[in-house]
Structures are given as structure tokens and as C-alpha cells.
Amino acid sequence: MTQDASRVAAKRINDHVELIHVDNPDSVLEVPRRDWEAFTAAVKSGVFDLETLNRQAEESVA
């Protein structure tokens, strides 16, 4: 795990999990609980890249 990963807090909210980065608490990634295991497996394997997700979010806002 990278050093950045340790700065992410996960909160379980009813039917989803919210991931909140300490440096940017206004940006929240919501992962449905049914997808949580697949999501964590993808992150651990390197298939899911939070930086790519962040860039895509910025592009969709612009």
C-alpha cells in the first residue's frame, strides 16, 4: 500500500461505503457495499487507480 492510501478514511453508510481522503475531504467516493470486495481487490491488484479516477472527475466537471 502506498503512503497516500493511509490517508483515506472509509465510512460504512447503510448501502454504501464512503471513502474520504484526508487532504480533500470534500471529494467523496461512494462504493456500493455489494461491490466493496471487488473494489478492494481491484485496488490491491493495481487495476483500480485513484489518480485516474480523480482526473476523470476533474474532466467531467470542466
User: What is the per-residue pLDDT across 10-60, written as a single tens digit (0 to 9) for each?
Assistant: 899 999 999 888 888 888 889 999 988 888 888 888 887 767 666 666 776
Whether this prediction's pTM lies above 0.85 is answered by: no
- Residue 21, strand partner residues: 8, 24
Which pLDDT belongs to residue 6?
A: 58
Which pLDDT belongs to residue 14?
A: 92
User: Are 6 and 36 in contact, with CB atoms under 8 Å apart?
Assistant: no
Integer-rounded Cα radius of gyration of the chain = 12
Is the pLDDT at 1 greater than 50, yes or no?
no
Sketch the domain layout of the chain as residue ranges: 8-60
* DSSP-based three-state secondary structure for 28: strand
